[in-house]
Chain A
Amino acid sequence: MQILFGNLAIFVLALLVGVEVISKIPSTLHTPMMSGANAIHGVVIAGAVVTASLANSPTGYILTFIAGAFAAANVFGGYAVTDRILKMFMRPKAVEPADETKTSKDAS
């Protein structure tokens, strides 16, 4: 019961943080934000690891494989595609070296 209460507490607090962390965002960032959040729930791969450590039957192995393969596609693909979208976002500003964002912002 104590474990459940601890878990419930962090669940509710994490929900509230999730609401607060995204206040108003420009609509151009909607897609990358969605993609970035999608990558974060790729943490389900950690659950696949736990499943693998407990699996002890053929069904368990199959479920481990499904969880591992699908979660890996989610997490690796999610971060890679988010980075690719955001790289494209930077391009208009990053005609000069990437760390000069402030001066290039003035120029645009």
Chain B
Amino acid sequence: MTDFEFVVGLIYLLSASLFVVGLHMMRAPATARNGNRISAVGMIIAVAATVALSLVTSGGEWIAWAVLAVGVLLGGIFGVYRARTVKMTDVPQLVSVFNAVGGSAAAAIAFAAFILATSSNPLDLTVSIPIVLDVLIGSITFSGSLIAAGKLQGVIPGNPVTFPGSRALNAVVALIALGASVAAIILPENTLLLVVVLVTALILGVLMVLAIGGADAPVVVSLLNALTGLAVAMAGFAIDNQALIIAGALVGAAGTILTLQMAKAMNRSVLSIILGGFGTG
């Protein structure tokens, strides 16, 4: 570890602390807004430190940086524009859409790491496991969050969508996804297997959330939010970045607790919501 990497590590620690303090302050209405701002400061310094670290350690090609800049500009404009203009009653849908894109960004990072790793040398289990888990979880949250947003918006029927044999179909898709995941972990140099994981996970996300009642959708958005946190942490393992691991784990755990509390406030159990079909619709 060079001196420079050490300093970046210290900055990551500071930003992680700001995330924790910010989340903590968001528990009470009086301090919540400042808590969110403190967390935003943590985000700014974490990203700035990562830009500096990437420029110094790997440099990179100018095309890639240009592509990143254009992407960030477009995504940022879309995000801020929607955040400013959305009707307050439609906020949960928007949060769900932001969650969806976060999950797919994590999956894209894992995919890029996979391609880079396979083109150089055989994959270590310590890299292939987080990559496959990231693609699996990230894809489920991407499609699942979009369906949940559609249900909240009323574009997709609010009542649980089930059909004869839907459970059997779910089970089959889940088995294929799991099988492909295990294969992708053990036989690491196969892009096709990772694509199978991606596609089956996308289908699984759609099927799982379709079967859930619209009244339960906010709880499901919260659950998917926690899952995206885990996907981001897995991306952190795949590219060895501590900022992603800490923030992802933090959101994964805090989001799970929040999900349990939300379900409790509605007198529902998370398990029965996920299994779906019994719901109030």
Contacts and interface: CB of A to CB of B under 8 A. Distances in A.
B171 interface: no
Interface stretch (B49-57, B174-182, B204-212, B271-279): B49-57
A69 to B, nearest CB: 4
Interface string A62-92: 0111111111111111111111111111100
Contacts of B261: 22, 24-25, 27, 30
B59 interface: yes
Given A30-B261, A70-B108, A72-B71, A54 B116 contact: yes
Interface string B243-281: 111111111111111100110010000000000000000
The majority secondary structure among interface residues of chain A is helix
Given A36-B22, A49-B54, A69 B75 contact: yes
A10 to B, nearest CB: 6
Contacts of A45: 47, 72, 105
Nearest to A82: B36
B41 to A, nearest CB: 10
Interface in B27-84: 27-30, 32-33, 35-37, 39-40, 43, 46-47, 50-51, 54-55, 57-61, 63-65, 67-76, 78-80, 82-84
Contacts of A40: 19, 22-23, 39, 43, 229, 247, 250-251
A49 B84 contact: no
Given A61-B67, A70-B102, A89-B33, A21 B239 contact: no
A75 B59 contact: no
B225 A41 contact: yes
A63 B32 CA distance: 35
Interface of A: 1, 3-4, 7, 10-12, 14-19, 21-57, 59-61, 63-90, 93, 101, 105
